[in-house]
């Protein structure tokens, strides 16, 4: 069976829900939902997990068929160090990244999540405000034209629906106010 991005996204969303692992869909799928779509071959989830959850992940990923490459050692290391791990589906060339988020930061984002239905499957989506802030934070270290354009697109499409005060307050706390001002005036 040929799997596409949507199939793989829904499989992981289903498993994350089943195993009660808090997650947010982010990255290019969230950008396409809130702003302008762009081509990508990966799926990004932000998850909240600690070492107590390693057995949950073992169970969750054991439900995947052999067409996925799952490196349990990489997963354990990522959870122990609060970094990221990925799972590859070589037949489709789709990589799914799981980014571990610090607990307090995740709770704030999780409270602001949006729940959407994709083919009758519930998917937890990062809020547009937190998506903009995440991308600006990444650009603080290494300015990426792609991330800046993503932010500008979300700003343009969602402007009337955004919690501007929330974005401004957090942009100040994260020290990305100048980048925020840049995306406000960018032409998409």
Closest CA to 25 of 139, 148, 113: 113
Give residue 45's pLDDT.
96
Give dist(CA 75, CA 86) in Å, integer.
Answer: 8
* pLDDT lower than 70: segments of the chain: 1-2, 102-106, 188
Gyration radius of the chain over CA positions? 17
Q: Give the separation between CA 107 and CA 103, rounded to whole angstroms.
A: 6
Please report the pLDDT score of residue 188 as a whole number.
Answer: 65
Q: Dihedral sign for Cα 97, 98, 100, 104, please.
A: positive
C-beta of residue 128 within 8 angstroms of C-beta of residue 158: yes
Instruction: Classify residue 156 by burial, with Cβ atoms within 10 Å: 0-12, 13-18, 19+.
Output: middle
Distance CA 146, CA 2 (A): 29
What is the per-residue pLDDT for 125? Answer: 96
Give the pLDDT score at 4. Answer: 86
Tell me, what's the pLDDT at 103?
Answer: 62
Residue reference for tokens 């950008």 = 31
pLDDT at res. 49: 86
> According to CATH, what is the number of the domain 5-126?
3.30.460.40
Residues whose CB falls within 8 Å of the CB of residue 168, separated by 6 or more in sequence, listed in order = 177, 180
Q: Per the confidence metrics, is the pTM higher than 0.75? A: yes
The pLDDT assigned to 87 comes to 96
CB 9 within 8 A of CB 43: yes
The CATH 3.30.460.40 domain(s) of the chain lie at 5-126
Given this model, what pLDDT does residue 64 score?
Answer: 93
| pLDDT at residue number 15 | 96
């Amino acid at each position: 069976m040929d799997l596409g991005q949507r199939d793989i996204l829904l499989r992981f969303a289903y498993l994350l829900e089943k195993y009660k692992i808090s997650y947010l869909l982010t990255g290019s799928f969230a950008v396409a939902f809130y702003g302008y779509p762009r081509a990508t071959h990966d799926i990004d989830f932000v998850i909240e997990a600690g070492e107590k959850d390693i057995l949950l992940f073992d169970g969750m990923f054991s439900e995947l068929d052999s067409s996925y490459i799952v490196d349990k050692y990489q997963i354990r290391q990522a959870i122990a160090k609060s970094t990221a791990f990925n799972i590859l589906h070589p037949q489709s060339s789709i990589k799914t990244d799981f980014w571990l988020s610090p607990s307090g930061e995740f709770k704030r984002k999780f409270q602001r999540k949006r729940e959407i239905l994709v083919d009758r499957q519930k998917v937890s989506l990062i809020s547009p405000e937190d998506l903009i802030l995440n991308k600006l934070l990444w650009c603080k270290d290494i300015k990426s034209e792609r991330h800046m354009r993503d932010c500008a697109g979300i700003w343009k499409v969602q402007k009337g629906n955004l919690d501007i005060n929330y974005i401004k307050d957090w942009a100040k706390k994260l020290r990305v106010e100048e980048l925020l001002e840049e995306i406000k005036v960018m032409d998409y």
